[in-house]
Structure formats: C-alpha cells, structure tokens
Structure 1
Amino acid sequence: MLDALAVRPAYQQGRGKPAHFSTTTTMKNRKPLYAALLMLGLTAGCTEDYLDLDPRNASTVENFYKTETDALLATNAVYSQLNQSGMFNYSLWAIGDVMSDNSFLGGGGAADGIEFQQLDNFTMTATNPLTTTHWQRAYLGIGQANQVLQRVPGITFAKTELQNQYLGEAAFLRALYYFYLVRAFGDVPLVLTPASTTADVASLTRTPVAQVYDQIIKDLNDAISKLPNSYTGENLGRATKWSATAMLAKVYLTQGKLPEAATQARLVIANSGKTLWPNFADNFKVENENGQESLFEVQFKSGLSNYTTDGPGAVMNEFWGARFFGNPYVVSSGGYGFNIPEKDLVDSYEATDTRLAATIFKPGDRYPDGQIQPASLVGDPLGFNVRKFFVGTVNVSNWDSPLNVPVLRLAEMYLILAEAVGPTTEGLEAINKVRRRAYGLPINTPSAKDLTAGTSNFADAVLAERRRELAFENDRWYDLKRTNKLIPTMRAQGKAIQPFHVLLPIPQSEINVNPNLTQNPGY
C-alpha cells in the first residue's frame, strides 16, 4: 500500500553514485497528504525481528481490528514510518546536520543531490523533495497512530496491560512525529482521529504551535501512564515508559520550560535503570543496539532491501561513506561522500576527547581493513567523513546497513539536566559525567576535565557539549533554533540564511490540494 506513496529516486545501479535528482520527476511519484491519510492504515512494520514482515494489503479497517494480533500489527505499522525516507533514513540528517554548522553536503558536484544542496545553501523551495517527504511521512505515522488509538480500545484483550501497551506506544509515536513536524514547520494541522473522507483532510487548517505542543505533552503523559518500564527478547526496541519520559524532558527543554525539563530528566536518570557505556563508541555498534544507554532508537535490519531509502536497511553507511575510496571500496558501493563534517566541528574536539575518533574519520585514520583515510576526496577537500554510523561493506550492491539510529540516549538526559538547572552542583555533576566518559575517565570521579561553577557562559558550554556528544544524531539544527543561534551561526559560516529559514516551507503539493494550508513567510 505504501509503495504508491514512497519516494523512489532513480539511482544508478552498480557504482552507487546518485543520478541527477529531479524535483519534478520525484514529486510526481508522491501523493499529497489527503490521499496518503486515506490510503494508510494496515501496513505491517518492517524493522527488527519483533516487527511482522508479512504484507496486510488485503485488509480493510472494517475487517481488520478484531484480535490482539491485529492490534500488534497495527501498532507495528506506526513504527514502520520511522525508518523510511522522510524520517530517519533520509530527510532528518539533511535537516538536523547539513542545515547546521555540523556538516555540508559534499557529494559529486553541481548536479548531485540538488535537493540536499538547497537545504545546505538555504535555497530550498516549497517543492523540495526532502522537506515534502518529511511532512508526508510524519503524517503517515500520525495517521497510523490515530487508527490504533481509535480502534484498539474496541478489541477484547486477555490482559489489559497489553492493550494499554499498544495504546501507549501509539501515543508516544504520535507525539514523536508531531514533535518533529512542529519544530520544522511551525503551525501544523493537528489531526487526532482517522480521516474518513477526502473533504475531511482537504479542509484542514494549521494549528498554532502552542496547541500542538499541548497535545504532544498530553500524548507523552498518556504514554508514560500506560507503557512498561522495559522489554526483553524480541520486544527490545519498543517504546517504554522511559522513552516517553525522556521525550517529555526534551519537549520541555525545547519550550524553554526548564524546571519541568529538569524534573523529567531526573526521573529518567534515577529510575530507568539505564547507565552510560564506559566507552562512548559502544553506543554505535550493532551488537549493542537497544543497549544499556539507549532510551529509544529507530530499528534497522539488513538483508531485506537493496537500492531504496524506505528501509528496513539504513542508507547512512553508504551515503556518508568516503566517496569511491579504497580498493576494495570501504563501503558497499563506493560511498557518496554526503554529510561531510565541517572543520569547525572537528576542531571543537580536544585531541584526547574519544568522541572525535568515534564520530569522524580524518586523514590518516585507519579503516578496519587497514586502508588509510586520504587527505582529500571528491567533494571532501579536507578528508573528513562521518564514522559514527560506519559499518563497512554490508553487501556489494546495496545500502542495507543494520545499524540503528539513536533518538534518545541517557547522555542527553544528563545534558538536558545540566542545561535546565545551570552551573549548580547538580548541573555540573550531570555535564561532567558526560565529559569524563568522553575523555576515557571514571564517570563518577571528579577530574581535571570537569567544568566548574566558575565556567564562563555555562549555557554555551552545555550547547557545545551537546554538539560534540550528539553530532550526526539529527539534533544540531533544532538546538541552534531553540537557542536563537541558528541565524548568526550559519551567517558566520558564510551561508545566506534569512530569518524566515528558521522554518521549512509547507509542501506546495499540500497547498495545491488544500488552499487552507497557508505558506510560511518567505517561500
């Protein structure tokens, strides 16, 4: 069912270099939001083992929501949008990092990745495929969440706890999708029930940001009340009570509600049972997925897809890999060399900060097969590449990385707490735990690397720590926005950013079918 809605760029098979990405040809493969919301519903998820992979295209709303198994498959479908183009498999890293001071596009030249170039240079239009797909993919997830929240209460369960779990997962995921939408686009339509007619969707108007945040908070509190503390076995990776609590901390931080953010972060730190990995790099190993520091991550799985940005395998390994470097290539099809770290980011790490080597390949670094990173590459004049999501050669002819993408980690809870309470004893200890781990020091033992009450511009120090800790985890653009630093930071890099660029354009394809959707200023 979703194949009709998916972006299917025409990439060259074999060498792995993206062909010219035409906005016109790409957009004709997309249906606007009203059609997507009416067509969605019963697609099974396709992520880790706990997600069912059998198609359910023959089912309809009327005959589907009958059993506990139906409820499970419908809940899995809400997760299924996370690892697709438009969310964590394609668009979000362009928004979170390429549109920030963390990275620039790279790639193969003027005709390569035009849709990414627009975001990198702040020349995007309302027909940009990345921003359009982000909007539509998030609303597909919201629509599937709405189906669960409306229909699962009518199913008889042997155990009420399981029914509550599915409802809590749907509420958490709806909040997550709306959190990304409201930060990117500002006012967005608040859709809380399944659409029944084209007219229902084609008449939607944009809901003020404050009301969207109120619903996000309501959904997260609902999820907290229903979700279990943890899972085992094949259910690892599903949203927990602590996933929702951590997201609530981040939402409050984004709103500037610092006491509330601190309260939620403290709850996660004290009660989730999560602990920091002693080694920062352990967060980004396939064998450690959904591990001791993870609060929520997007699940990916290899061996099931080839050239597609719609999962279940992740494309970052190939897209971010050194472009056509190595003999054999260091990534599967030669690498595209997209998302190139900025020198300013590289220079922000001290030489003894272990996060540098875990996050970035720089000239002279050795790959697992013994090859050495060169001083420069096509589109990459200083020889920097992202290492954080590198898994090497997965398959000689696909993008199929199995490595999950973290959305919430315990380290971020410490940083949220530090930002929320400032350079107090509590705040200093929180940020210093993250710093000690970064320098390979005992996490709970004071060190020479600790920040102190005398640290100048503590808020800036926390923001800089977030940049180093969370680089390429899709956060930096949002951090610069919420701290009012986006425009001066990007202008300092020579980018022609304007004040209206703090919001993305409402997709023109949506406005074409629904004139009630007003455009953001400047587009």
Structure 2
Amino acid sequence: MINIHKKIKGVLWATAFTSLSLLSSCESFVELGAPPTQVVSDDVFKADVTANSAILGLYNGNIMVNFIQGASFYPGMSADDIQYNYTNSAFEEFENNALTSINASVENTTWFYGFQQIKNANNAIAGLNKSQTLTPSVKEQLLGEAKFIRALSYFYLVNLFGDVPMSLTPDADYEAKANSPRTPATTIWAQIITDLKEAQTHLPTTYVGTFKGRVNKHAATTLLARAYLYNKDWANAETQASQVITAQAYTLPAPADAFVNTSTETIWQIANTTGVSTFGANYLAATGVIPNFSLYDTLYKSFEEVDLRKINWTGVTKIATTNYYFINKYKVRTGTGNEYNIGLRFAELYLIRSEAQAQQGKLVEAKADADIIRKRAGLAALSSTITKEQLLLAIEKERKLEFFGEWGHRWLDLKRTNRADAVIGGQKPKTWKSTAVLYPIPENQRLANKNLTQNAGY
C-alpha cells in the first residue's frame, strides 16, 4: 500500500484506554502515559477476550488520539472555524490554505494515522474472518466495529486527499502493496458505503459496555447517512437518517448537557481514563492564558445573541487588548472529569435529513428538521416562505454553529457543497487558491512510492 506499513508490522494496538494528548503553549501534541500494548495479530483472534481487547485498541491509544487531531484541528484551521494562537509554521500553512507537500503535520498525523487505523482494521477483519473459535455473536460484533473504523478512516482520507491508495487485505501483504497507485475517490466512497452497510448487519442496536464507547448499529447508520449526503444521494441520506431518528434511542438535551459522557445525544464517544477530552484539553486555557485555539471572529459573530450554543458553547477571554473567543463545549481542561471525545451526535441526523429533504424539494419537512435544531438553541423557527436556496444556506449556517470545532465538519461542508471558494476565498483572499480544497500527498510518501501522483496545485 504505502511505506507506513513497514513502521508497525503485524500488530494491533490493544490497550483499552490510554491517556489523552495535550497541546502545550508552544509545542505540538504530546501523548501522555505509557504506550499501548502490542498483540500479535496471528494469535489474538483465537479467544473472545483477546479479540475484544484488539478491537478496543482500534478506538483508543496514541493512534486514535492522533487520528482525532488530524480529523478535527487541522481541517478546522483550513476553514473559517478555529485558529491557532501560538507560533507553529506547519499550522500556519493550514490557516493560510498554503500547505506544502513537506508539511510534517499532514504526513505524520493526518496521512499516517489514517492509514494506521486502516491497517489495523484490515488485520482485525482478516483475523476475525479466519477465526473458527470465537463465539458467533462476538465475532459479528467485532467485525462490525472493525468495518466501521475502516470506513471512518477512509472517509477522512478521501475527503482530505481525494484519491488515495486502497487496501482491504491484512498487513502481511504489505510488500506487494508498497507501490500501489492512488485509487479513484469514487471507488473509495463505494467501499466506505459497503463497509457501513455490512457493519449495520453485524452490529446490534444495543451498546457493548458502558458510556457508548463502542459503536452500535445506529452509529454505522449515522455515518452511512453522512456518506450518502456527501455523495449527493439525497434519498438514501434521508432514509438512513430517518432510521436513527425514528428509533427514539436518542434525544437532544439542553446545550449545557450535550457533551458530558452521559449525554442522551451521544451516539458514539471515545472513552478515556481521566474523563478529560482531547477537545477540552486543547480548546480551554487557564485563567489569564491565551487558549491554544480560538474561533475566528467571523464565526463567533455569526451567532444570534440569544443562541444557547453561543451562551453555553463559547466563551471569551481578554488578554492585553485582544479578545479570544474560545470553544467551551467541553468544560474540563485538566485533571479528571466526566467528558469523553464525542464522535457522533444525534443533532447531525436532523441536519442531514433536513439538507437531503431540501435537495429533493421537500421544503416543509426540511424546514421542520432544521427548526428542531434551532429550537434546541433557543431560536425562532425559519420563515414559512423560505425558498430552497435560502433554506440550504440556513442549513449550512446551522451546521456551522452546531459543529464548530468538531471533526472538521465546517471544512468538509464547504468542500462538498463547492462553497469553499466563495467563503474561504472571501476571508483569505491573499493566500487562497481553489486547489487548496485537497491536501497534498506527502512528499516522503511519493519518494517511497513512485506510483503516487500529486494533487493539483502542489
């Protein structure tokens, strides 16, 4: 596939809950605590206990923490979402939409950890399929989880890079895959949808364990609805979103309660030992200290004053003469708390369905779903005479104000709707170019694999 396979050959990370990454004022993300345990993939799938441990390793440890970083903070900086407040040349490239092919963050986090997740998921899927000794229900559950993780990883890689090498076979075959060319994005998307549909069949609607730390059928359906939306398959996006909404398994709590680890809105969250999220650790700051990240002024000022999301999910700290508008969704920065890294929230289903319905001309239904999100935020309903074009822009704005700072939603939304030129180009006219909607293929990967072509503009 690519040369990252040579770095960790034939292992699965299997520590269940390791410490979080924290960002120091002037340094990059650092993983705290002991490294994960390595388990040889040939042996791990012989018993339920060790197989479960291996799958837990897909969710946790250094790989997942860095995957969250690559999927959240970097795309957030590429958009009009979050900005980094200290000196870091690699981060400045994201903020200026002027990435280079030697950007260390692109290669060492976004590319590397995305493919590490895929490699480990492939190993797990192969081991599970080969195993004849696992309890059938356990095997089904674990297969569903591994396919979800693989789909999630490819979802971010294809959105950020476009065509990328695709592998569905275990790590033992890495030598044959080391010089693989890039696979067309349409093929990657088809595999994402296949994996999620298969995950639906494998996974139960109930959760294994506590705190929704392992995906269930509703999580697979949520990501599948998103995949259909991104591919403009409006009917299927609506259908899949409706399946979760009508299941009545989740509710929309008040914004103040949305991000605790017992939130009724959470569909999937990534647990940790301290109850301090990666997001809280990086978005909050000690009193009198500049936060690592803050919101763009334009985003902060796009809230209505009465919006409960502004009241509960943002804050302002004044350092010298500068106001820093920080993200306050997660309330705990250090020590211990009751917050995990939330991966999927129920609110997204209403906005997916709203957009899908609007695109199909179902304006009454689309407005009703958008108004559910607005009502939770304490806002008035949209106009009953709203046009399709106005409604789509209103949904875009709701997504911006709902998901700021989370999993790169804003950047991916602007890309998939072809709105990046108008929005980002208008805010960053000196550095923006249309080709910046895709990140560069890392130069070191292209040196190791001569079959990897480069994206336009790099």
TM-score normalised per structure 1: 0.78
Offset from partner CA, 1:150-170 (integer Å, 9 cap, x none) = 111333456412210000100
User: Distance between the aligned counterparts of 2:10 and 2:90, measured in 1?
Assistant: 27
- 1:33 is displaced (CA, Å) by 1.3
1:483 aligns to what? Answer: 417
Offset from partner CA, 1:109-167 (integer Å, 9 cap, x none) = xxx22211110012221121221121110111111111111111333456412210000
* Higher share in helix: 2
Offset from partner CA, 1:323-362 (integer Å, 9 cap, x none) = x643xxxxxxx5x523211121111111111000222112
Give yes or no for contact 2:164–2:185 (8 Å, CA) kept in 1. Answer: yes
Give yes or no for contact 1:95–1:477 (8 Å, CA) kept in 2. Answer: no
Q: Does 1:302 align with 2:274?
A: yes
SS of equivalent to 2:102:
coil
Classify 1:63/1:409 alpha carbon distance in 2 versus 1 (closer, same or farther; 3 Å). Answer: closer
User: Distance between the aligned counterparts of 2:113 and 2:246, measured in 1?
Assistant: 35
Offset from partner CA, 1:362-410 (integer Å, 9 cap, x none) = 2xxxxxxxxxx33x459xx333112112314x24xxxx87632322211
Counterpart pick for 2:260 among 285, 306, 318:
285
- 1:276 is displaced (CA, Å) by 1.2
User: Distance between the aligned counterparts of 2:347 and 2:77, measured in 1?
Assistant: 23
Counterpart pick for 1:437 among 376, 386, 400:
376
1:80 aligns to what? Answer: 60
Offset from partner CA, 1:214-244 (integer Å, 9 cap, x none) = 1000000000001010226437321000000
User: Distance between the aligned counterparts of 2:224 and 2:312, measured in 1?
Assistant: 28
Offset from partner CA, 1:475-519 (integer Å, 9 cap, x none) = 100000001111221121134111111100111221121111111
Classify 1:167/1:82 alpha carbon distance in 2 versus 1 (closer, same or farther; 3 Å). Answer: farther
**Corresponding letter in the other structure for 1:406:** I
Give yes or no for contact 2:228–2:236 (8 Å, CA) kept in 1. Answer: yes
Give yes or no for contact 2:212–2:267 (8 Å, CA) kept in 1. Answer: no
**Corresponding letter in the other structure for 2:292:** F
- 1:424 is displaced (CA, Å) by 2.4
Classify 1:293/1:220 alpha carbon distance in 2 versus 1 (closer, same or farther; 3 Å). Answer: same
1:389 aligns to what? Answer: 330
Give yes or no for contact 2:225–2:240 (8 Å, CA) kept in 1. Answer: yes
- 1:198 is displaced (CA, Å) by 4.9
Q: Does 1:413 align with 2:349?
A: yes
- 1:100 is displaced (CA, Å) by 0.7
1:307 aligns to what? Answer: none
Give yes or no for contact 2:295–2:324 (8 Å, CA) kept in 1. Answer: no
Q: Does 1:469 align with 2:402?
A: yes
What count of residue pairs does the alignment treat as equivalent? 436
SS of equivalent to 1:73:
helix
User: Distance between the aligned counterparts of 1:67 and 1:42, measured in 2?
Assistant: 17
Counterpart pick for 2:7 among 36, 56, 63:
36
User: Distance between the aligned counterparts of 1:242 and 1:509, measured in 2?
Assistant: 39
User: Distance between the aligned counterparts of 1:42 and 1:426, measured in 2?
Assistant: 45
Show structure 2 runs of 5+ residues with no match.
20-33
**Corresponding letter in the other structure for 2:267:** L
**Corresponding letter in the other structure for 1:124:** L
1:97 aligns to what? Answer: 76
Give yes or no for contact 1:297–1:405 (8 Å, CA) kept in 2. Answer: yes
| Further displaced range: 458-467 or 113-122 | 113-122
Q: Does 1:343 align with 2:276?
A: no
Give yes or no for contact 1:68–1:156 (8 Å, CA) kept in 2. Answer: no
Q: Does 1:500 align with 2:441?
A: no
1:69 aligns to what? Answer: 49
User: Distance between the aligned counterparts of 1:338 and 1:285, measured in 2?
Assistant: 22
Classify 1:465/1:62 alpha carbon distance in 2 versus 1 (closer, same or farther; 3 Å). Answer: closer
Counterpart pick for 1:427 among 359, 366, 372:
366
**Corresponding letter in the other structure for 1:316:** F
Show structure 1 runs of 5+ residues with no match.
1-30, 304-312, 327-333, 363-372, 441-447
Q: Does 1:204 align with 2:180?
A: yes
User: Distance between the aligned counterparts of 1:425 and 1:485, measured in 2?
Assistant: 24
SS of equivalent to 1:408:
strand
Classify 1:189/1:401 alpha carbon distance in 2 versus 1 (closer, same or farther; 3 Å). Answer: farther
Classify 1:235/1:345 alpha carbon distance in 2 versus 1 (closer, same or farther; 3 Å). Answer: closer
Counterpart pick for 2:340 among 389, 404, 414:
404
Counterpart pick for 1:239 among 212, 215, 218:
215
User: Distance between the aligned counterparts of 1:320 and 1:55, measured in 2?
Assistant: 25
**Corresponding letter in the other structure for 2:221:** T
Offset from partner CA, 1:289-347 (integer Å, 9 cap, x none) = xx3111122333328xxxxxxxxx6443343234x643xxxxxxx5x523211121111
Classify 1:222/1:463 alpha carbon distance in 2 versus 1 (closer, same or farther; 3 Å). Answer: same
Counterpart pick for 1:512 among 447, 451, 457:
447
Q: Does 1:268 align with 2:231?
A: no
Give yes or no for contact 1:168–1:226 (8 Å, CA) kept in 2. Answer: yes
**Corresponding letter in the other structure for 2:327:** V
Give yes or no for contact 1:341–1:384 (8 Å, CA) kept in 2. Answer: yes
TM-score normalised per structure 2: 0.88
Q: How does 1:108-187 map to 2 (within 5 A)?
A: 112-132=87-107, 133-157=109-133, 159-187=135-163
Q: Percent identity?
A: 29
- 1:46 is displaced (CA, Å) by 2.5
